[in-house]
Structure 1
Amino acid sequence: MYVTTSPPPFRDPGLPFGTRVDDLLARLTPDERIAMLHQFAPAVERLGIGPFRTGQEALHGVAWMGPATVFPQAVGLGASWNEDLVRRVGEAVGTEARAMRSRDDRVGLNVWAPTVNLLRHPLWGRGEEGYSEDPALTTAIAVAYTRGLRGDHPVYWRTAPVLKHWLAHNNETRRDTSSSSVRPRVLHEYDLRAFRGAVEAGAVAGVMPAYNLVNGRPNHLSPQLSEHLRTWTDEELLVCSDAGAPTNLVASEKYFDTHEEATAAALRAGVDSFTDHGTDASVVTGRIRRALEQGLLTGADIDTAVRRHLLVRFRLGEFDPGLDPYAGTTLRDFDTAGHRALAREAAEQAIVLLKNDGMLPLAEGTRIAVVGLLADECKTDWYSGTLIRRSSPLDGLRERFGAAHVTFAEGADRVRLKCGAGWLQVPGAPADGGAPAGERPAEEGALDPALLAGRTDLPPLTAGPEPTELALIDWGGGAWTLRAPDGRYLSVAEDGFVRASADQPGGWVVQETFAPEHHDDAGGHLLRHTGTGGYVSVTADGVRIAEKGEVFTVEFLERGEEAVTRAAATADAVVVVAGNDPHINGRETEDRTTLALPPHQERLWRAARAANPRTALALVSAYPYAVADAHAELPALLWSAHGGQAAGTALARVLAGDVSPAGRLPQTWYAADTDLPDLFDYDIIGSRQTYLYFEGSPLYPFGHGLGYSAFAYEDLTAERDAHDADLLRVSLTVTNTGPVDAGEVVQLYTRAVDPPVLRPSRQLAAHRRVHLAAGAARRLEFRLPLSELGFWDVAHARWTVAPGTYELLAGASSADIRLTASVRAEGDPHAARPVREAGLEAVSYDEQRGTEIVDRTRTSGDAVTPADGAAGGQLVFRNCDFGEGGVRSVTVEASGGGSVELTRGATATTVAVTPAGGPYDYATRTAPFTASGVHDLVVRLRGSVRLARLTFPSAPNPRNTTR
């Protein structure tokens, strides 16, 4: 007799994923389920299930796992305004993740990308990771990238993308303790929109909460995860914590007293995978077990999170390798000719021509001086893979124009450093060269970022009678890098010694930057090592970092501008390549302090311009700069994000005219720091931020970009769709009227003509990047949902389209509008606030001054408090309807201590709020307040009061009184 054993249902590919997940979940023990909640889920060998890791960085290529194709930074992909291109980049990145996994199973398929945080503030250190300051453009690019990463198979996914970082995250300064005060209109019209479109498109596996708090509550407890995110799709979403953030709930944020409370609260709020304590899962799993024992969690809470985890693994084909269409991806699909060509195409499409007074393109045979601190650089950032190949601007120009036609001057200062013990000396490098410091080794995988120590096998610097000439680059903000004659950067290893050992500045904590601190009138400086905070000192064993440092004098052998002047004077044209190093002065953990170009680089372009008027400034940077003087004085300016492995080739092809640039700015370039709001001010409406509300004159507007041809816009029409009254069909014809084939980005904006509340001056609704031959024309059509004309009505807590006239504006940028058409919307009338029936939520104000939004409870709701209790704050509620019968009292629901003053015309009432416990101990207090009809209401807050709600009981109807 033969006994056959059927495979368990979770192994049956004929069953729906949900059924298979439920079967597998039921087979797991409680401890096995808990273990799956950590980032590094272990194998379950008795069921034949392998280990699984959430989190593979793949922002613009597979990162941290060794060599990979490196595409332009995310902000550069945003500058392409090209969804088709970005989808293909996503496909390539997803394919390389699969290919690399075929060699190394530590490469994960749950990819943490893209970053969809809006580029609200240009000083944000992680601006390189986002796509745009506009939610519509960000959504379009994010949908394209996630679709590429996910793949187009109806069942199985190439990779499982996770969006970063939920929610309203735009500052690195105090990023784990600061709170973003986000009013409902900004939440619904701005921050949520960036996530919603990508989720609704169906190519997103989950999201990652950000480190910061929103309205006083940590993002890892965000009620919006359940109230909004999970209502946008019928599919389950996996929420992965950011690294160390669960511990922050107790450690830095002090939001809970115990880790058991914090972990339980995060899990109940919707966090499914805990990225904490690196590969050591015991800390997190121990907290979860104790939370269960204390009754803070239930088994059902655990099961919900594990079910989401397992569903991702089924989608990735883990349990159906024979059916997974991506399972056969191998290293032959890695670093392909197609991927290399795509990297170049992406870099070309990301270049934005900011100004051109006829200097570009450069003619054949032009003698070119390429100068500047980035002229021979191909920089990577924290989320880059290791370059397989490299093309700097110098490389690209020499390849395109011939080495004999291109001269080079970096523009670094040539210096010698002297102290009491003698001249600073760099010993020679060993014959084998060795591996440079400053790179993330592949074997570290996606472990928690840590201090990356440099090499200790090289001899440290010394001080003696013979000086070493060093290249000094001043990146601004007190950040110097120093480079030995052989190209190695001075770096500090874990033993504290200073060596010339780094190929580039880099690492989670950069060990290659030094800050000069003025010491005496004789020009002496201490050199503080920024990575450790210590000072450069000289000991008998060599130069090292200590608490007290040597006093150094800097002898300048040649200023960088002198070399630039020589190169520029003998050339027909000069290209100055300036910008940032993505690891210095603006990056994850560090915000920028200014929009200004560093003074060293300012000196270089001015020197080039003085020597040769035919000077172009090519900015290669992760961020905008305020370069008003350069714009006024130079005939040509360009900008590109760090463009990946083909950046130099792409720039050269644009400068030569082989490619007509058609990149467009994905964010506003402001003229000066004085145009900027406070970094922590998230109220884009109240403080008039981004192109949507900015009332000044930007240096370069959102959507700006030039090319080598010209385009005519004609025949704009806008009408209701014949088959769907909720759609607008907008059409126009664009014609290439110039002499060369070229690309154009046609941009469609909307504007409410007479809105009932403050609305954007114009708002991007759609765009299309097209390439047209000289003389060719194309009719473009956009289908625009009428709901896109709407706004969040705080008076009634709903999305609404107000009746009235709306303009459709078509043009080449937000400031270059060529055609206008009007449509009429028959929306919902903007009714007064029904305060007598519904009361007033404090957070539903129309205007505010001096307040911030805080958490009403630890789990849900908002309240409003003065940002400065002594100075007080003010809320304005427009068009409050107190009814014909009116009201005679107000009930204030508040906590803390202080006062709430209500003013309606000449009527004022002050309600004292006496402390009655902690910030979440709300009480109600009633006071006389008389009002009838429709009026604006002003509410002033003082002290530590936290106002949650106002209610207005109806006045008695005199006709119904008894005698």
Structure 2
Amino acid sequence: MTAPHRARTAAEVLAALDLAEKVAMLHQHAPAVERLGLATFHTGTEALHGLSWLGTATVFPQPVGLAATWDPDLLRAVGDAVATEVRAKHAQDPAVSLNVWAPVVNTLRHPLWGRTEEGYAEDPDLTASLATGFCRGLRGEHPEVWKTVPTLKHYLAYGNETDRAVTSSHLPPQALREWELPAFVGPLAAGVVGAVMPSYNLVNGRPNHVAAELLDELRSFAPSSIAVVSDAQAPSNLVDGERYFPDHVTSHAAALRAGIDSFTDNSQDTAPTIERLTAALEAGLITEADVDRALLRVLELRERTGELAGHDPYGVGPDAIDLPQHRALARESAGRGVVVLADDAGVLPLRDPARIAVVGPFADRVLHDWYSGTPPYTVSIAAALRERHPGADVRVADGADRVALRSLTHDRYLEVAPDGAVAATAVAPHERTQLDVTDWGDGVSTLRAVATDLLLSGASWIQAASATRVGGWVAQETYRLHTHHDGTVSVLHVGSGRWLRVQHGTHLLVADGTATTAERFARHTVASGAASVAAACDGADVVVVALGNDPHIAGRETEDRPDLLLPPVSREIWRTAVASGTPAVLTLVSSYPYAIAEEAASAAAVVWTSHAGQELGHGLVDVLSGDREPSGRLAQTWWAREVDAGDLLDYDVVGSAQTYRYAPAAPLYGLGHGRSYTRVAYRGLTLAADGTGGGADGGAEVTAPPATTRHTAADEAAATAASGRPGLDAVVTVTNTGERPVDELVALWVHAPRLPVPAPARRLAAWTRVALAPGETREVALRVPLGVLAVWDVAAAAGPGDPATPATPGAYRVQPGVYRLAAGSSVTDPAVTAPLVVHEARDGGGPAPSRADRIDAHAFHAHAGVVTSDRTREHGSSVEVAAAGRAAWTLYRGLDLDDVTAVGIEATRRALPAWGPSTVRLEVRAAGGGEHDWRALTAEVAVPEGDRYAWQELALPLVAPPAGRPGGLDDVDLRLHLTGAARVAAIHLER
């Protein structure tokens, strides 16, 4: 029998396939092609912080916890371990894909985002560096065959779960270039990424799954081909949820043309995708060349894994899971991600206490999140303390109220049978009637059976104590307890939205009631959670108060956080511990930051760890007990108040002054914050530009480099080293003045002056980690590329030889001025500073007044009340008044209008009704003038009704003839006013 032909390259496979086979392979689940020796294949194995959803695997800390190490090399080691376990699962089952859907590189712009746990850092440069490290580990060392093929998620401007599949992120060019793109570009440019997944949301009015201009530009940064895999059900959502296209054939064709290569849609049912793409071919909406282009990228992804050539240089066997070195790495990463936020009382490290109280919901439990495997074991905080202090009396109280619920209808207590069934059958309270109620905030609780230590779950409509933890895409283990005016309670099962009642006959507890038929229960408190906490704290030498969030409740995929506060019951646990008089260590185990100014003020110490996986307890106690020096540093701002974080749905971080870079508010704990058990003194900072020495004040002077479209913050350092771009050499002198060693984060921050194009008030410029012995002084050298000073100026043009034309007008430009560089313990601690004077380039540096005949409306310098929207369904941008607004304006600086004879506006109207008339008008002033200097340039023109894509040219008559204005309009600012439903794509100038 003749063996099937094995095609060795992606191009060979593509050439051997017929059209029907090609179309079928564009679905996530590609069929086998036996005549070519191709097995079935699918994109996507979840591997965010360990192999997920496929059984036992090493569970490392959440990415937000890994990021607190500020160490790309550690993340590379974690990535390598994860890739090993993916290969091991693949060896067990070849259907396990070697294309992994990780990491998430969306910046942690806002702490209310439900998926904060999945990202790395607030700063895009730090995010890019850490993601690149993780991807290097996932990719492996072989020059041709990748250990796994990483996929970056989720492109682009995705950071809210509220209506995530239909909201549009307003992203002006400056925010796009300086904030959103760099986190993706870093790992792409490093060549360690093989795929990208677009996000569900829209950007500037267009769904990311048909954003051809953004996808094309992203691909331009990668040294080799990149496959774009859709998010789950996103292709169908273009019609079903977003209502962006009239039918699925049109939408699938648009997605393929835009650059989607693999359709993750309808789970494993490939038929709808095949039918829609085939119909698009027949209708002429796509061609076979479009199919070939997409499929080749997917085949190249498969080629990277060694599949096509049948080559496996790694030789990972099926047993390479939960290896001893993986356990050790899990413990190391858990410990290195612990951040000591405060230790003013000097209670840490613990000094062999004889009696330790560990209280709160995480005292003796370890939870893991949605994107997690099943850990082979877990080590809790209490267990680790007992292990570390074997002679100590470790007392545990989780703070839950222990209750018994008696049905008023049947006059029986709920009772948990040995098989987990819950029924109102007990005449009197006993152990099997006792439930521990843990309140996670926002009215959501879990009910744990004391007799079996299992959670009540509604996975079936019949309730049962059957779950070890909260889990699932829709959590079935959460309840809301509603207290009536007479003190009785009714219970809502959150997952189903049904109220609990007790059946007649069987007396089983079921979730099928309404608010009016819900069972009334008398709530009998067996033991108060607060009283248990007080008893545990009584006589203790120290109390570790372990509070935080369940990763499946009040903040996760599909659910943003309700606020930044600790839940009321958690705050009561804290107050009870503090009231005992025992020194209390506020220990937060969470996926995200909290606003804890009040709690921190009464704490002997404050410590944070993410949900750090199987070794959480060891990692945390290693730090608390001083066996590991604390080295974790915050990668995300902890704001003192929720309002300081800004609007969750506002992505224009520049215009809205959000994030640590722009926000005027002082944080509770700033980016880079973290204490050690010693003291590090910052004694000096000197700067030296290329080819020059430092100034007497430690500062330096440089000339602004040429503008470029290719600079992004994420890859600037590498580009500087490789191409000799201008940069700075900074030397920070640090001394360990204490008696313990330290692993210090030495970071340099740049503070910009007020400039014509807004620059960050503060920005991470460079960083490294330095080990210092007690008494040691070190001069730490940091290379600072001048590109970190650059802003995206929509009026700037790139210099000669710039290799790319971006989708948005403008270029990166370093503006002249006096900048201040600072180093210290965090962004809020400028312990040492030095000035940097940037001079104009010899040719004048800044852009000359523009004589362009077209001004793209979305390429504004400033705005108020406007959002960027789509010009057509597939290409271009425009501006319009924000939803529920009535008027807006955009500003364009540095224009030469001196010989303009007529002005045209490319305009249309939104389809939705507007308040009042829809109009456009223009005003002009001398460049840089004040608000009172504006004067009308044209008359106001009404925008006629029509299709939102029916663009038409409106002529705006000049108020005064072009003659008779000598020198008046050769360097001006222009302001466009919009009212009602007006949409504008461009301003056309006739000369």
Q: Is the TM-score greater than 0.5?
A: yes
Residues in 2 aligned to 1:189 and 1:121: alpha-carbon distance in whole angstroms: 16
Contact 1:134–1:666 (Cα < 8 Å) also in 2: yes
Contact 1:896–1:918 (Cα < 8 Å) also in 2: yes
Contact 2:6–2:37 (Cα < 8 Å) also in 1: no
Runs (4+) off by over 6 Å:
4-9
1:658-807 matches, within 5 Å, as: 658-722=627-691, 724=724, 726-796=726-796, 797-807=810-820
743-752 vs 328-337, greater mean Cα deviation: 328-337
Q: Which residue of 2 aligns with 1:10?
A: 7
Residue 522 of structure 1: SS of its match in structure 2?
Answer: coil
Q: Which of 617, 621, 626 does residue 657 from structure 1 map onto?
A: 626
Aligned-partner residue type, residue 633 of structure 1? S
296-305 vs 801-810, greater mean Cα deviation: 801-810
1:178–1:39 distance in 2 versus 1, CA, 3 Å: same
Aligned-partner residue type, residue 914 of structure 1? V
Q: Which residue of 2 aligns with 1:960?
A: none
Residues in 1 aligned to 2:845 and 2:446: alpha-carbon distance in whole angstroms: 59
Q: Which residue of 2 aligns with 1:389?
A: 377
Contact 1:754–1:805 (Cα < 8 Å) also in 2: no
Q: Which residue of 1 aligns with 2:428?
A: 466
Q: Which of 843, 847, 853 does residue 868 from structure 2 map onto?
A: 853
Structure 2 residue 909 is matched with structure 1 residue 896: yes
Residues in 2 aligned to 1:896 and 1:529: alpha-carbon distance in whole angstroms: 46
Offset from partner CA, 1:763-809 (integer Å, 9 cap, x none): 11221122222223433322232222211002231111223333332
1:838–1:633 distance in 2 versus 1, CA, 3 Å: farther
**TM-score, length of structure 1 as denominator length:** 0.92
Contact 2:753–2:761 (Cα < 8 Å) also in 1: no
Q: Which of 470, 479, 500 does residue 444 from structure 2 map onto?
A: 479
Q: Displacement of 1:826 after TM fit?
A: 4.5
Offset from partner CA, 1:287-326 (integer Å, 9 cap, x none): 111111111110011111111111111111113344x321
618-627 vs 903-912, greater mean Cα deviation: 903-912
Q: Displacement of 1:716 after TM fit?
A: 2.6
Pairwise CA RMSD of aligned residues? 2.0
Aligned-partner residue type, residue 10 of structure 1? A
Q: Which residue of 2 aligns with 1:947?
A: 984
Contact 1:832–1:934 (Cα < 8 Å) also in 2: no
Residues in 2 aligned to 1:949 and 1:732: alpha-carbon distance in whole angstroms: 49
Q: Which residue of 1 aligns with 2:493?
A: 529
1:531–1:348 distance in 2 versus 1, CA, 3 Å: same
Q: Displacement of 1:285 after TM fit?
A: 1.3
Structure 2 residue 808 is matched with structure 1 residue 808: no
Segments of structure 2 that go 5 or more residues without pairing to the other structure are 692-722, 797-809, 911-917, 925-933, 961-967
Structure 2 residue 873 is matched with structure 1 residue 911: no
**TM-score, length of structure 2 as denominator length:** 0.89
Q: Which of 921, 924, 940 does residue 953 from structure 2 map onto?
A: 924
Residues in 2 aligned to 1:76 and 1:367: alpha-carbon distance in whole angstroms: 29
Q: Which residue of 1 aligns with 2:343?
A: 356
Q: Which residue of 1 aligns with 2:694?
A: none
Q: Which of 562, 568, 571 does residue 599 from structure 1 map onto?
A: 568
Q: Displacement of 1:530 after TM fit?
A: 0.9
Q: Displacement of 1:403 after TM fit?
A: 6.0
Aligned-partner residue type, residue 779 of structure 2? R
Residue 367 of structure 2: SS of its match in structure 1?
Answer: coil
Q: Which residue of 2 aligns with 1:344?
A: 331
1:754–1:872 distance in 2 versus 1, CA, 3 Å: closer
Q: Displacement of 1:727 after TM fit?
A: 2.8
Structure 2 residue 62 is matched with structure 1 residue 73: yes
Residues in 1 aligned to 2:494 and 2:770: alpha-carbon distance in whole angstroms: 47
Aligned-partner residue type, residue 946 of structure 1? R
Q: Which residue of 1 aligns with 2:965?
A: none
1:801-880 matches, within 5 Å, as: 801-826=814-839, 829=844, 831=846, 834=849, 836-868=851-883, 871-880=886-895
Offset from partner CA, 1:304-357 (integer Å, 9 cap, x none): 1111111111111113344x321x111343211111110000001101100001
Residues in 2 aligned to 1:367 and 1:763: alpha-carbon distance in whole angstroms: 45
Residues in 1 aligned to 2:852 and 2:425: alpha-carbon distance in whole angstroms: 81
Residues in 2 aligned to 1:766 and 1:333: alpha-carbon distance in whole angstroms: 37
Q: Displacement of 1:908 after TM fit?
A: 5.6
Residues in 1 aligned to 2:413 and 2:332: alpha-carbon distance in whole angstroms: 45
Residues in 2 aligned to 1:427 and 1:418: alpha-carbon distance in whole angstroms: 13
Residues in 2 aligned to 1:403 and 1:589: alpha-carbon distance in whole angstroms: 45
1:368–1:910 distance in 2 versus 1, CA, 3 Å: farther
Contact 2:872–2:949 (Cα < 8 Å) also in 1: yes
Offset from partner CA, 1:173-197 (integer Å, 9 cap, x none): 1011111111110000000011001
1:24–1:413 distance in 2 versus 1, CA, 3 Å: same
Residue 426 of structure 1: SS of its match in structure 2?
Answer: strand
Residues in 2 aligned to 1:870 and 1:672: alpha-carbon distance in whole angstroms: 27
36-45 vs 420-429, greater mean Cα deviation: 420-429
Contact 1:670–1:700 (Cα < 8 Å) also in 2: yes
Offset from partner CA, 1:229-275 (integer Å, 9 cap, x none): 11102300011110111110010001111111111111111111111
Aligned-partner residue type, residue 607 of structure 1? T
Contact 1:659–1:742 (Cα < 8 Å) also in 2: no
Q: Which residue of 2 aligns with 1:415?
A: 403
Residues in 2 aligned to 1:870 and 1:202: alpha-carbon distance in whole angstroms: 44
Q: Which residue of 1 aligns with 2:119?
A: 130
1:403–1:317 distance in 2 versus 1, CA, 3 Å: farther
Aligned-partner residue type, residue 427 of structure 2? P
Q: Displacement of 1:679 after TM fit?
A: 1.3
Structure 2 residue 225 is matched with structure 1 residue 236: yes
Q: Displacement of 1:622 after TM fit?
A: 0.1
Structure 2 residue 47 is matched with structure 1 residue 47: no
Aligned-partner residue type, residue 530 of structure 1? V
Q: Displacement of 1:225 after TM fit?
A: 4.0
Aligned residues: 911
Offset from partner CA, 1:560-583 (integer Å, 9 cap, x none): 111111111220011000000000
Q: Which of 192, 195, 210 does residue 199 from structure 2 map onto?
A: 210
Q: Which residue of 1 aligns with 2:975?
A: 938
Offset from partner CA, 1:429-450 (integer Å, 9 cap, x none): 23xxxxxxxxxxxxxxxxxxxx
Q: Displacement of 1:752 after TM fit?
A: 2.6
Residue 294 of structure 2: SS of its match in structure 1?
Answer: helix
Aligned-partner residue type, residue 487 of structure 2? G
Residue 7 of structure 2: SS of its match in structure 1?
Answer: helix
923-932 vs 338-347, greater mean Cα deviation: 923-932
Residues in 2 aligned to 1:910 and 1:830: alpha-carbon distance in whole angstroms: 35
Q: Displacement of 1:903 after TM fit?
A: 2.4
Q: Displacement of 1:896 after TM fit?
A: 0.6
Residues in 1 aligned to 2:413 and 2:205: alpha-carbon distance in whole angstroms: 51
Q: Identity, % of aligned pairs? A: 44
Residues in 1 aligned to 2:876 and 2:741: alpha-carbon distance in whole angstroms: 55
1:106-121 matches, within 5 Å, as: 106-121=95-110
Contact 2:736–2:772 (Cα < 8 Å) also in 1: yes
Structure 2 residue 275 is matched with structure 1 residue 311: no
Residues in 2 aligned to 1:869 and 1:473: alpha-carbon distance in whole angstroms: 41
Aligned-partner residue type, residue 851 of structure 1? V
Aligned-partner residue type, residue 872 of structure 2? T
1:928–1:493 distance in 2 versus 1, CA, 3 Å: same
Residues in 1 aligned to 2:147 and 2:491: alpha-carbon distance in whole angstroms: 49
Q: Displacement of 1:634 after TM fit?
A: 1.1
Aligned-partner residue type, residue 410 of structure 1? D
1:394–1:941 distance in 2 versus 1, CA, 3 Å: same
Q: Displacement of 1:870 after TM fit?
A: 5.4
Contact 2:677–2:740 (Cα < 8 Å) also in 1: yes
Residues in 2 aligned to 1:102 and 1:705: alpha-carbon distance in whole angstroms: 42
Aligned-partner residue type, residue 169 of structure 1? Y
Residues in 2 aligned to 1:869 and 1:64: alpha-carbon distance in whole angstroms: 43
Residue 567 of structure 1: SS of its match in structure 2?
Answer: helix
Residues in 1 aligned to 2:896 and 2:50: alpha-carbon distance in whole angstroms: 55
Q: Which residue of 2 aligns with 1:437?
A: none
Q: Displacement of 1:559 after TM fit?
A: 2.3
Q: Which residue of 2 aligns with 1:300?
A: 289
611-620 vs 745-754, greater mean Cα deviation: 745-754
Segments of structure 1 that go 5 or more residues without pairing to the other structure are 12-19, 431-457, 955-963
